[in-house]
Amino acid sequence: MTAFDVLILGSGLAGQSLALRLADSLKVAIVTKRTLEDSASAWAQGGIAAVLDPAADSIEAHVADTLTAGAGLCSDSATRFVVENGPRVIRWLIDQGVPFSSDTSSPIGYHLTREGGHSQRRIIHAADATGAAVQATLTEQVRAHSNIAIFEQHIAVDLIVGRKIGRPEEGCLGAYVLDIANDEVRTFSASHTVLATGGTCKVYLYTTNPDTATGDGVAMAWRAGCRVANMEFIQFHPTCLYHPQAKSFLISEAVRGEGGLLRRPDGSRFMPDYDSREELAPRDVVARAIDFEMKKHGLDCVFLDISHKPADFLKEHFPNILARCLELGIDITQQPIPVVPAAHFSCGGIVTDLRARTDVSGLYAIGETACTGLHGANRLASNSLLECLVFSEAAASDILANPRSRADSLPQWDESRVTDSDEAIVISHNWDELRRFMWDYVGIVRTNKRLQRAQHRIRLLAREIEEFYSNFRVSNDLIELRNLVVTADLIVRSALKRKESRGLHFSRDYPEVLPKARNTILRPTDSSKT
């Protein structure tokens, strides 16, 4: 058994910033499926939203924009909490040495951009690769810190909770973790365990997320006894590069923020037909418009055109997008970019309070895996990294203020009744089937019939996967597939419960918005649990 004060599952911005805030006082472990650098945070392009220029912007304006995007479901207290703490956590990143893009003509010394749904320029960024710059800066410090133990190529199998081992009063005690390289399950004991495992969008066939976004935190928390909320609200990013050689390459929201126009293949614009905000409408509006245009005209993609901007401007603001498109034969200074929507962000997740605490004592959730109340029915662009930073700070404060005893002994992982699988094809087939029908039936536009078809298939797959899990040794792919099917079930159940169209959830059966906004909350004690 390996023992720590704090066990952090996940190595994105939420996990790494939490580790750095705690490591001077506590013994911290970071468990990550691949390497520290592999996370959705590192893929984030646009930037981080915060009120940094009070002469031109205000807390009230940022709060109002967030509430508007969230379509009536944002928590007022959570939204204000995040926005008010935003400037301070950005200063913390600057103090860590993050190289944000400068602007000598700006009163704050940094260039701020504007994205869809924002009334002001308030997104601080590092060119068009903000996540990579932030992640690289923090990773260097995490690797250098003597009080942070790093376990790369490790994946959590499940949380260890007291009620499952005859100690119900003890909450979360740690986790069982598969050492992928050595093919053995290790027991981690921890006073505090933190889920920072990222999102769920790998449950869809087309996604902007890395392969690691398999809903692990949500599934583990659900099995541990935590509520989940608003799982039906999956944000589909409107503009993912459409090219057979481009896997999950995002074309940043900032391209539209800086004047990019969406066009049909004949060059005509279509966003003015859908919303008065045109290309700067919130993501759900833009994604549905693109989806409608593609279905109406039988298109493989639409086009995002920013070629009317000077080439030097594009080289300065979008160097990575420019370079990647050039590699694929697309010169964005001369040509429009072929784009399609793709699953991008999970607005729902594990229910937490303003200190990042879950329903299970000793267990916290931060980042995309959590449902804090900030995003409501639709996340405002560039609020996600902000949420990671604010709630990692909140979790750190709560952990430091509430010492908790660590379990001296825990049951070891039992493999005495399982064998090695000779049927790996079952995993790959089920993985592919799940992601395809989620895309077809639980995508941008939904119907009851599609959702019921998806639910029927999920229940068949869940039984098959659980039988496989019970009889064979665990592997990385099996663990992820088991978590994906739980996540898919929660998304579909949540979608079936919502009898309206709101934010990211659009139902043809219920196209109207109900007068009162309500959260969709699922409890593991529900009799309908798959």
**Measured distance CA(45)–CA(382) in Å, rounded:** 9
Q: Check: CB of residue 123 under 8 Å from CB of residue 112.
A: yes
**Measured distance CA(288)–CA(267) in Å, rounded:** 19
First to last CA, the chain: 32
Burial state string for 399-426 with b = 16 or more CB within 10 A and e = fewer than 16: bbeeebebbeebeebeeeeeeebeeeeb
- Nearest CA to 441 among 450, 433, 431, 428? 450
| SS3 track for 353-385 | CCCCECCCCCEEECHHHEECCCCCCCCCCCCHH
Q: Check: CB of residue 154 under 8 Å from CB of residue 129.
A: no
- Nearest CA to 385 among 41, 84, 132, 122? 41
Please name the residues in contact with 39: beta carbons below 8 A apart, sequence gap of 6 or more.
10, 11, 12, 13, 15, 32, 135, 198, 210, 212
Q: Is 283 a catalytic residue?
A: yes
**H-helix segments, 123-191:** 130-144
Please name the residues in contact with 433: beta carbons below 8 A apart, sequence gap of 6 or more.
457, 461
DSSP characters for 254-275? HHHHTT-EEE-TTS-B-GGGT-
From the candidates 283, 435, 493, 498, give the one annotated as an active-site residue. 283
Residues labelled catalytic: 283
